[in-house]
Amino acid sequence: MDLSVVNHEDYFAKIGDDHKFPIDKFGEIANYLKKKKIVEKFYKPYACSDETLKRVHSEGYIKHIKDKTLDQRAVKKIGFPLVDSVVRRSLVATGGTVLAAKLAIKNGVACNTAGGSHHANFDSGAGYCVFNDVAVAAQYLLDRGLAGRILIIDLDVHQGNGSADIFKGNNNVFTFSMHSKSNYPAKKSISDCDVELENDTEDKEYLRILKFYLSQLNEENFDFVFYVAGVDIHFNDRLGKLKISDEGIKKRDEIVTENFFSKGIPLCGVLGGGYNKDFNKLVELHSILHQSCAKLLR
């Protein structure tokens, strides 16, 4: 069976050519996955509806984003200009994770080519995140009885603070974040489990810690997993502070996806962050998630 991957041309937004965020990656990842024959045909999402967004975000915040009336300080915290293509992108990328989650239930595993906006909170965005797509999709599954106990395993180099806050005290969603201790956000939130890594952590130590916590997570009864596969843990990332190699990321993605797939727990993979100094390398690193998941189905 082929891996189901969700993509939309509107994942790309016009944020200005000199912007620090590598927004071009969203078009390039889709091209790369096609070129490498990892994906033949993409599933195209709808923009996430207000009704679905409202289960996780405040009505006021959703309206301010859609009307582009969010105050300047709050826009600055997000880091993207609040223009039509950014609004559109935030809505389709969130719809994309909802669709990928539904496809994961059907096929065991599925991925988005965007998503993992884990810094977005109930009524605010931050750190290049407008809506918390994974939180929205998790709540969508719970509301429809499609899942009962969800794990968000977040291996982006930054803490999944928005997801931690949104699901604080919610026993149906377990938030796990393994991140750089000294990295953004300066003030960390409290996930159900936080693992803080020292600067310059290398492959061997990273994978040892990951395997230990996976064995702990395997003691719990999850029936759905969201995997935030940020590649900003790479040694050549502009924002990461760790020293993980290409091979380390490949092993990480294989270990995580195989762990849950082999137990029959549906897994939805989303991109997370990546700011590699080498653009082509960045695209290649993000595609490791899709390649690891595709391999499970062969």
Pick 39 or 154: Cβ nearer Zn ion: 154
Q: For residues 126 and 119, give the distance between their C-alpha atoms in angstroms, rounded to a whole number.
A: 6
232 counts as binding Zn ion under rule CB under 5 A: yes
Q: What is the smallest separation between the CB atom of 223 and Zn ion, expressed in angstroms?
A: 27
Q: Which residue number places its CB atom closest to Zn ion? A: 273
Q: For residues 69 and 289, give the distance between their C-alpha atoms in angstroms, rounded to a whole number.
A: 36
- Among the options 8, 64, 118, 119, which is catalytic? 119
162 counts as binding Zn ion under rule CB under 5 A: no
Pick 80 or 222: Cβ nearer Zn ion: 80
Strands lying side by side in the sheet with 4-6: 4-6, 109-112, 267-270, 224-228, 150-154, 173-180, 193-197
Q: What is the smallest separation between the CB atom of 230 and Zn ion, expressed in angstroms?
A: 5
Pick 130 or 147: Cβ nearer Zn ion: 130
274 counts as binding Zn ion under rule CB under 5 A: no
**Is the CB of residue 234 less than 8 Å from the CB of residue 246?**
yes
H/E segment holding residue 164: helix 161-166
Among candidate residues 269, 266, 294, the one with its CA nearest the CA of residue 147? 266
240 counts as binding Zn ion under rule CB under 5 A: no
Applying CB under 5 A, which of residues 273, 284, 285, 291 lies at the interface with Zn ion? 273
Among candidate residues 287, 268, 258, 279, the one with its CA nearest the CA of residue 36? 287
Backbone torsions φ then ψ of 49, nearest 5 degrees: -75, 155
Residue 9 per-residue DSSP state: G
String marking each residue 113-152 x if it binds Zn ion according to CB under 5 A:
----------------------------------------
Q: What is the smallest separation between the CB atom of 274 and Zn ion, expressed in angstroms?
A: 8
230 counts as binding Zn ion under rule CB under 5 A: yes
Q: Could you tell me how many residues make up the chain? A: 298
Say whether 119 is catalytic: yes
Pick 96 or 273: Cβ nearer Zn ion: 273
Q: For residues 105 and 90, give the distance between their C-alpha atoms in angstroms, rounded to a whole number.
A: 23
Pick the stretch among 11-19, 49-57, 156-164, 207-215 that binds Zn ion (CB under 5 A).
156-164
H/E segment holding residue 269: strand 267-270
Which residue reads 């803490």 in tokens? Answer: 159
Among candidate residues 279, 227, 283, 275, the one with its CA nearest the CA of residue 255? 227
Q: What is the smallest separation between the CB atom of 24 and Zn ion, expressed in angstroms?
A: 18
Pick 176 or 222: Cβ nearer Zn ion: 176
Q: What is the smallest separation between the CB atom of 232 and Zn ion, expressed in angstroms?
A: 4
Applying CB under 5 A, which of residues 156, 194, 253, 284 lies at the interface with Zn ion? 156
158 counts as binding Zn ion under rule CB under 5 A: yes
Q: What is the smallest separation between the CB atom of 39 and Zn ion, expressed in angstroms?
A: 24
Pick 160 or 266: Cβ nearer Zn ion: 160
Count residues contacting Zn ion (CB under 5 A)? 5
Counting beta carbons within 10 angstroms of the beta carbon of residue 130, is it exposed (0 to 12), middle (13 to 18) or buried (19 or more)?
buried
Q: For residues 45 and 91, give the distance between their C-alpha atoms in angstroms, rounded to a whole number.
A: 10
Contact set with Zn ion (CB under 5 A): 156, 158, 230, 232, 273
Q: Provide the annotated active-site residues.
A: 119
